[in-house]
Amino acid sequence: MYPDDALAVEYYRPGQQGGCALREWHDVLALVHLSASAAPVAAAGIPVVHVAAPPLGGEAEVFEVWRSAGPLRCGADGRVRHRSNHSVLFGCVRVCEQEAPADLAGATPLQWATATAYQAIFDCLRTRRFPHLWRMWNYLPEINRETEGTERYRQFNAARQQAFVEAGRYVAIRVPAACALGLTPASPLVVYFLAGAEAGTPIENPRQVAAYEYPREYGAASPTFARAMLRRGTKGTTLLVSGTSSIVGHRTVHAGDVVAQTRETVANIRALLAEATRHAAGVEFAIEQLTYKVYLRYERDLDACAAELRRALGPLVPIVFLRAEVCRADLLVEIEAVGHGRRAQ
């Protein structure tokens, strides 16, 4: 049982020995089913999100299991399915671009889907009285492809930023941690998120320009996210690290070299942990105490990336590797993480 305001994630591989038991639902906020294709999952009303980012290394499927203490309540508001206790809410929404109306008033189908998803999320947060977004996961089909004259990631960023503005939420220092990855053409837009009754503390990386301050060469609308989110609870402090890549300042470095990009990404995560430790008075974050999710553009890079990560993190750190497109075409790897702080000595 977790403390009354704790938040934890673990990865369950069906058939593994000693893994978490999916039948134990009392503290499960949600399941994220990571596989090439969806399969029915009986989850007692708990939200199940399918993300078509297949695991690498011979595994057909992996479940991302989010847990917090009960009592937990399930519900739905419009398109959003959610589950919550008194301090944290997990929600998810999916929108197919094919649902878009014929007259989009100049928007693209992806922009319509993004606006629809985010409006549903903000409506849900108002209704449920969880005003503070901590972390968002965005998965969209063909993130790097150009359609209607613009890269789809830039289309998504424009619609996301506009949704924050229209909801009165676009304050740079209060945007959530986030990631955006690309899936296959047949995938819907999938967004899942964590929100709280209390605000978290956004963390920026001193080695990088804040994403919301990127120059216009990356698009007319900057990405709307913080590099990490620090969440303090009465029983512990959690750090939610955004999708992190081989970017220094605002530029990609080590193009074409997955080992060097992995090494640079780890350096960025170390810098984030140091910054989080500076903000979390009396709490330290150690890189070997996080749980990692790694996205690779090419399956052929798995062995090289995994070896570099094991060298940096050690042999026992939990890592799951997935196949997905990273938001920039010259990025080969993106890494996100969740971890808990420990009292400073």
Kindly provide the b/e burial profile for residues 134-173, where b requires at least 16 CB atoms within 10 angstroms of the residue's own CB. bbbbbbbbbbbeeeeeebbbbbbbbbbbbbbeeeebbeee
Residue 10 known to be catalytic: no
Amino acid sitting at position 38:
A
Only one residue has tokens 């964590």, namely: 194
Assess contact for 86 and 52: CB atoms under 8 A: no
- CA dist list (Å): 305 to 7, 57, 257, 301: 28, 12, 10, 6
The widest CA-to-CA distance across the chain, in whole angstroms, is 61
- What token pair was written down for 31? 């399941």
- Alpha-helix runs per DSSP H in 170-301: 258-279
Q: How far apart are CA 167 and CA 218, in angstroms?
A: 24
Residue of 293, 314, 289, 301 whose CA lies nearest to 62: 293
Evaluate whether 209 touches 219 at the Cβ level (below 8 Å): no
46 to each of 35, 60, 68, 74, 191, how far by Cα in Å? 18, 22, 13, 6, 16
Catalytic residue of the set 64, 204, 275, 334: 334
The residues near 198 (Cβ < 8 Å, ≥ 6 apart) are 87, 132
Question: Angle at which helices 109-128 and 152-166 pack, to 10 degrees?
Answer: 30
End-to-end CA distance of the chain: 26
Instruction: Centre a 10 Å sphere on the Cβ of residue 32 and count the other Cβ atoms it contains.
Output: 23
- Tell me the catalytic residues: 334
